[in-house]
Each structure stands twice: as C-alpha cells, then as structure tokens.
Chain A
Amino acid sequence: DIQMTQSPSSLSASVGDVVTITCRASQSISSHLNWYQQKSGKAPKLLIYAASSFQSGVPSRFSGSGSGTDFTLTISSLQPEDFATYYCQQSYSTPLSFGGGTKVEIK
C-alpha cells in the first residue's frame, strides 16, 4: 500500500502570504496526485488533479507541482477564504490513500 505523508501538519499564516504544503509518497506515483480543500464542517473540494491541473473554478493563486514521490501545493497570496485543511491523495493504485492533512490557520 502507498503511504502519503504531508508536512507540515499545521501552519499559521497571514493574508497575502505565500503558503507551501508538501506531500511525499512512499513509492513513485508518477503524476497521480490530487489536492483537496476542506473547510470546517464541509465536504472536501477538489482543487488540483494530476499534480498540476486546475479543477474548474479554482483560483489561479493555487498551483501544484511535482512528480514521482515529492509534490507541492502552493498558495501564492493567501486569502481569508483559504483558511482550511488541505489533503493530498494518490490515485496511482488501490487502495487509494490520503495524506494526513495540513491545517492552514490565521496568524
């Protein structure tokens, strides 16, 4: 089974900051990596798929990069509506797996 490790598990940032979240797979997953945003009490929302492709409607301040085992989600200028928990997920093989999540909080 493929294990997904995210870091950091939480971070504090201010509006306008650049935020970077990393995700590491326990084996190569090519570009089969997706990012989701989950706000408190809500269902997750797909942000980025295939490591760097934008889901329709996602603001351009979100970007994804990486391949193989190491991936990054970057928010170029943090906005108030971006405070949430972010999860990576590998879609390379079953059982599918998520990272543990990164909670982005207001500084």
Chain B
Amino acid sequence: EVQLVESGGGLLQPGGSLRLSCAASGFTFSTYDMHWVRQATGKGLEWVSAINTAGDPYYSGSVKGRFTISRENAKNSLYLQMDSLRAGDTAVYYCARGLASVMDVWGKGTTVTVSS
C-alpha cells in the first residue's frame, strides 16, 4: 500500500524551529518529486515547498529563506526544516507525492502551532 506518514509537529513559540518528517512506503521513493502543502484551520490549501528527484528545492515566497526541504532516499524520507517560525505558519502540514507537479498521494498531516 502506498503511504505517507508525517511526524514532528508540535506547539512552539514564535522564532522557534521545528523539523517535520514524512515517511514513505509502498513505492520507489527516489523516483518521485515530493511536496509540502499546508492548511491553516478553516482556510484553503497553500503549497509550501517541493524537492525533485535530483534534490533541487523549490519554495513559496512566504517561506523562502526560513524553511529548508530535503530528502533522504536511503531512508524513504522527506523533511522540512522550519526556522524563524511565525504565528502565520500555524497549520496542518501535509506531505504529498508528486508527478509533474500533480500531487497524487497525500499523508494525513501533522499539526504545527506557533503561539506565545
């Protein structure tokens, strides 16, 4: 079964850092692009970042310079290092498998709350 499982969410103060992980199974992880998408409570979907099979990263303007995406193919894992966190980063963070920037498999999400 193709599956993505996010972890690492939590509650932290503004200015803090957090690292999200996404464990992939059931498919050849190294052959797919991977994405992070977030959703604030009651709001729409917002694309955050992607990494292609060559390891090239892409970011939305709202997180560029603060978030770092990476992957470890040997561990079938995707990561999102989030620094200088703000209240506006509070959301459920989903990882998704991508093919030509179409997100065909999604995890259940992990919740990040940034609050003082």
Contact = CB atoms under 8 A, between A and B. Distances in A.
A46 B45 contact: no
Interface string A42-85: 11111001100001000000000000000000000000000000
B36 to A, nearest CB: 11
Chain B CB count within 10 A is highest, among A43, A45, A100, for A43
B106 A98 contact: no
B32 interface: no
B73 interface: no
Contact of A96 (B44, B50, B104, B109): B50
Nearest to A90: B101
B106 A45 contact: yes
Nearest to B58: A94
Interface in A29-45: 32, 34, 36, 38, 42-45
A74 B103 CA distance: 20
Contacts of A91: 100-102
Interface of B: 35, 37, 44-47, 50, 58-61, 94, 100-104, 106-109
5 contacts: A43-B94, A44-B106, A49-B102, A94-B58, A98-B46
